[in-house]
């Protein structure tokens, strides 16, 4: 991921962090299927080690996992978003980080959640992120990823009154699965759903992917 792209994403999320947290921290309360999938993920990883919520934003996914007994920490590119997460969930560790260069040992995580963490990244750059996911997951480690379905690229000029320059990408689920498999992960399930009501979320179809790092001889 280019330095300019990283800087633009960090800057824009810093600008909208306060309003993002105010509007979206409690959004999972109105998304029962998403919560069901997170609970399923928690049941798999709960007793097996540390979990990273990548692109954690204000920490709402990490908070849900923590309350479900998962040893989770959150990681985000935006320091102001991390500040919001720490304020809202002081009992959970949150830290700054870049998914293209994770400051984590290889084979160290029992799981990764990435809810819309790739939304601002063009598909040509995703193999670099997915390789990092595969590197830091322990053998048998589980990834749960969520993203928007489609082929469009949205370029809003502002969000919640703040000017932004980042792009928002929608993806073909089969293309994302193919890239994950190229990175060495194995698909367990791909789930799609229609959007919830307009007052709950942006009106796009959503995809959820469970993928696992396989065990290898000697692992």
CA-angle at 118, arms to 102 and 115, nearest 5°: 90
User: What are phi and psi for residue 47, nearest 5 degrees?
Assistant: -105, 15
CB 63 within 8 A of CB 84: no
- Pick the residue with more confidence: 163 or 5? 163
Chain segment 171-191, per-residue pLDDT in tens:
999 999 999 999 999 999 999
Both tokens of 70, joined, read 């998962």
Instruction: Answer yes or no: is pLDDT of 82 > 90.
Output: yes
Three-state DSSP state, 84: helix
**Residues 77, 11: Cα–Cα separation, whole Å:** 9
**Residues 103, 34: Cα–Cα separation, whole Å:** 28
Cα dist from 88 to 52, 66, 116, whole Å: 18, 13, 20
CA-angle at 63, arms to 59 and 69, nearest 5°: 145
Both tokens of 82, joined, read 């991390």
> What end-to-end distance do the CA atoms of the chain give, in Å?
30
Chain segment 12-65, per-residue pLDDT in tens:
999 999 999 999 999 999 999 999 999 999 999 998 999 999 999 999 999 999
What confidence tier does 107 reach under pLDDT thresholds 50, 70, 90?
Answer: very high
What confidence tier does 218 reach under pLDDT thresholds 50, 70, 90?
Answer: low
Q: What is the mean pLDDT of residues 61-85?
A: 97
Cα dist from 150 to 115, 147, 171, 203, 206, whole Å: 16, 10, 5, 12, 9
Name the residue ranges covered by the structural domains of the chain: 3-212
Cα dist from 162 to 21, 68, 159, 202, whole Å: 14, 35, 5, 18
Architecture of domain 3-212: 3-Layer(aba) Sandwich (3.40)
Both tokens of 196, joined, read 């919830």
Instruction: Mark 150-170 as b/e (b = at least 16 C-beta within 10 Å).
Output: eeeeeeeeebeeeebebbbbb
Residue found by looking up tokens 């703040």 in the block: 162
């Amino acid at each position: 991921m280019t330095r300019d792209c990283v800087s633009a994403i960090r800057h824009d999320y810093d600008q909208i962090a306060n309003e993002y947290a105010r509007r979206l921290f409690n959004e999972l309360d109105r998304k029962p299927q998403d919560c069901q999938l997170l609970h399923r993920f928690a049941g798999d990883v709960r007793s097996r080690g540390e979990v990273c919520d990548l692109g954690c934003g204000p920490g709402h996914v990490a908070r849900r996992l923590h309350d479900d007994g998962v040893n989770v920490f959150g990681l985000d590119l935006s320091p102001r978003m991390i500040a919001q997460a720490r304020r809202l969930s002081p009992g959970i560790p949150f830290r700054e980080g870049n998914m293209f260069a994770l400051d984590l040992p290889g084979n160290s995580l029992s799981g990764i959640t990435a809810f819309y963490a790739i939304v601002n990244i063009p598909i040509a750059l995703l193999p670099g992120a997915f390789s990092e996911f595969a590197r830091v997951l322990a053998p048998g480690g589980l990834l749960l990823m969520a993203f928007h379905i489609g082929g469009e690229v949205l370029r809003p000029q502002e969000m919640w009154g703040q000017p932004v320059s980042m792009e928002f990408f929608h993806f073909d689920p089969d293309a994302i699965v193919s890239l994950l498999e190229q990175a060495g992960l194995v698909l367990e399930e791909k789930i799609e759903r229609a959007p919830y009501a307009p007052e709950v979320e942006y009106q796009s179809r959503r995809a959820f992917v469970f993928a696992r790092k396989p065990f290898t001889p000697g692992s």
